[in-house]
């Protein structure tokens, strides 16, 4: 077996550089009537409903259509709803299903809307204020619409909201913002699914943000095999800097090459799953970002199958766990676990291939780490017992570390490989 030893500084330097950084969602600026910023050209619909029990249905076919809908309801019947359909195939001789625009505003309790667009360069903006809201957006279909360069934004204020955005073909963008404080922004669910067909396949963007406790976010970006596409970007934030949140669930699944996934969770009892199938991908999770000593009991699982991938996890607090698996060549994994004043943290890194690098840094007391590497030219660095700033030496120690490095032709029982996509949520 070939052994490679590098210093911590050498491990910190390498080719694992990515241009993009985590993004943020700007609140929707709702338009109540046509403006110069709206795409208007063909048919035009403007519906303004006040009171209770209002329904709105809009169907527009062709190019450069615009639909504006505003509903304000009280609680009688607990029901306002909207159904918008803008459709038409994009074919070489026609631009039908192109440059359509839909703007939806709902105030009150029990609102829901469904918006569907076919074709290219369409936009949907939907805002809901109140309780128990539901929004479903569909842009494109697998056949026959191309559905490129579409934009969907959903903004929900309240608790127990549900938002789903499905986009097909390539180079689409989706954002879901479910907001309120920790008391009211509870139990929201968001689902974003983006699938690319092998036309231009420039990559999708999915951004989700949820405030409050016990929220769930799932982002699925499927580009097929790496040869057919990739360059997807997924970003989810659960909680905010002023109102810490707990009990969050996030899952990000990407296929293709050069994808990026970021998950940020702010306090305790949070779970994050990331799975990337392909090469040159990057997965990053940050939990208990405020570094609160009361935060902890968080879980991260990162799974990558391909070459030149990077997985990073950072956790603050107590009793946290990270599991990382990488299969392929020239992959890099890193775990940073801080605090650990009450109960230690655990980190596991499994790498199967060659020329892989694993780095684990754990602070304070009672931590456990395990590295299992199969193949040639592997590197493992574990740093434990780093004291907390301003704390006595008794807050550090009693750590445990295990490193197993085996050549691929050595008959030792490998770690069990986790099945892909086993953690996917379905709503």
Cis peptide before 400 (omega within 30 of 0): no
Query: Of 402, 372, 400, nearest to 384 (Cα)?
Result: 400
- Mean pLDDT calculated for residue range 153-182: 87
pLDDT score for 35: 45
Strands (E), 73-215: 80-87, 101-107, 111-117, 123-129, 134-139, 151-157, 162-168, 173-179, 189-195, 205-210
The tally of CA atoms less than 13 A away on the side-chain side of residue 272 is 34
**Rounded Cα distance, 287 and 307, in Å:** 26
Beta carbons within 8 Å of 416's beta carbon, 6+ residues apart: none
Residue 14: pLDDT band (50, 70, 90) is very low
**Rounded Cα distance, 179 and 297, in Å:** 24
**Rounded Cα distance, 375 and 206, in Å:** 35
Q: Does residue 332 contact residue 355 with C-beta atoms inside 8 Å?
A: no
- Mean pLDDT calculated for residue range 37-43: 57
**Residue scoring higher pLDDT (253 or 225):** 253
- Mean pLDDT calculated for residue range 216-234: 80
pTM of the predicted protein model = 0.86
Residue 171: pLDDT band (50, 70, 90) is confident
pLDDT score for 141: 67
pLDDT score for 413: 60
**Torsion angle of alpha carbons 37, 40, 41, 45, nearest 10°?**
-170
Residue 409: pLDDT band (50, 70, 90) is low
pLDDT score for 306: 92
Residue 62: pLDDT band (50, 70, 90) is confident
Q: Which two tokens stand for residue 203?
A: 């990559």
Does the structure show a pLDDT above 90 at 403? yes
- Residues 86-114 have pLDDT tens digits of 887 666 555 667 888 999 998 876 789 99
**Rounded Cα distance, 388 and 48, in Å:** 59
Does the structure show a pLDDT above 60 at 116? yes
Report the Cα–Cα distance between both ends of the chain, in Å, rounded: 48
**Rounded Cα distance, 273 and 72, in Å:** 39
Question: Of 79-83, 86-90, 189-193, 227-231, which gets the smallest average pLDDT?
Answer: 227-231
- Residues 133-148 have pLDDT tens digits of 899 999 986 555 567 8
- Mean pLDDT calculated for residue range 381-404: 74
- Residues 246-287 have pLDDT tens digits of 899 999 999 888 899 999 998 889 999 999 998 999 999 999
Query: Of 137, 149, 131, 150, nearest to 104 (Cα)?
Result: 137
pLDDT score for 50: 79
- Mean pLDDT calculated for residue range 225-237: 77
**Rounded Cα distance, 125 and 217, in Å:** 19
**Rounded Cα distance, 392 and 39, in Å:** 63
**Residue scoring higher pLDDT (417 or 212):** 212
Does the structure show a pLDDT above 80 at 5? no
- Residues 63-83 have pLDDT tens digits of 888 899 988 866 667 678 899
- Residues 195-211 have pLDDT tens digits of 876 666 668 899 999 98
Query: Of 240, 195, 189, 194, nearest to 214 (Cα)?
Result: 189
**Rounded Cα distance, 222 and 329, in Å:** 22
- Mean pLDDT calculated for residue range 377-399: 73
- Mean pLDDT calculated for residue range 228-251: 84
- Residues 305-341 have pLDDT tens digits of 999 999 999 998 888 999 999 999 999 999 999 876 6
**Rounded Cα distance, 269 and 87, in Å:** 43
Q: Which two tokens stand for residue 240?
A: 């905010």
């Amino acid at each position: 077996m070939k052994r490679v030893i590098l210093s911590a500084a050498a491990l910190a330097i390498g080719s694992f550089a990515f241009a993009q950084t985590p993004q943020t969602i700007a609140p929707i600026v709702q338009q109540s009537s046509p403006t110069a910023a709206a795409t208007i050209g063909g048919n035009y619909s403007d519906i303004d409903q006040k009171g209770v029990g209002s329904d709105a249905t809009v169907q527009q076919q062709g190019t450069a259509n615009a639909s504006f809908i505003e509903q304000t309801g009280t609680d009688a019947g607990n029901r306002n709803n909207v159904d918008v359909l803008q459709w038409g195939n994009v074919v070489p001789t026609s631009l039908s299903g192109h440059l359509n625009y839909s703007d939806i505003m709902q105030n009150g309790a029990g609102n829901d809307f469904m918006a569907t667009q076919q074709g290219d360069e369409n936009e949907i903006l939907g805002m809901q204020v109140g309780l128990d809201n539901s929004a479903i957006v569909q842009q494109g279909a697998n056949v026959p619409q191309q559905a490129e360069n579409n934009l969907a934004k959903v903004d929900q204020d309240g608790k127990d909201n549900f938002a789903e955005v499905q986009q097909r073909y390539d180079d689409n963008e989706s954002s879901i913002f479910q907001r309120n404080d920790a008391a009211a922004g509870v139990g929201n669910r968001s689902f974003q699914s983006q699938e690319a067909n092998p036309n231009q396949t420039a990559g999708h963007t999915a951004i989700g943000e949820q405030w409050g406790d016990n929220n769930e976010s799932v982002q699925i970006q499927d580009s097929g095999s790496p040869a057919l596409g990739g360059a997807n970007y997924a970003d989810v934030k659960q909680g905010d800097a002023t109102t810490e949140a707990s009990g969050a669930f996030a899952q990000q699944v990407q296929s293709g090459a050069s994808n990026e996934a970021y998950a940020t969770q702010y306090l305790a009892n949070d779970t994050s799953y990331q799975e990337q199938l392909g090469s040159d991908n990057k997965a990053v999770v940050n939990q208990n970002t405020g570094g609160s000593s009361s935060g902890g009991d968080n879980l991260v699982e990162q799974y990558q199958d391909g070459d030149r991938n990077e997985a990073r996890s950072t956790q603050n607090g107590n009793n946290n766990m990270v599991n990382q698996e990488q299969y392929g060549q020239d992959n890099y994994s890193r775990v940073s676990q801080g605090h650990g004043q009450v109960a230690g943290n655990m980190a596991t890194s499994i790498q199967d291939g060659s020329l892989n690098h694993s780095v684990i840094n754990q602070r304070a007391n009672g931590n456990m780490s395990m590295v299992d590497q199969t193949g040639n030219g592997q590197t493992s660095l574990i740093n434990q017992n780093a004291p907390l700033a301003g704390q006595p030496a008794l807050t550090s120690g009693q750590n445990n570390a295990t490193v197993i490095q085996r050549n691929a032709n050595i008959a030792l029982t490998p770690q069990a490989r986790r099945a892909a996509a086993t953690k996917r949520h379905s709503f």
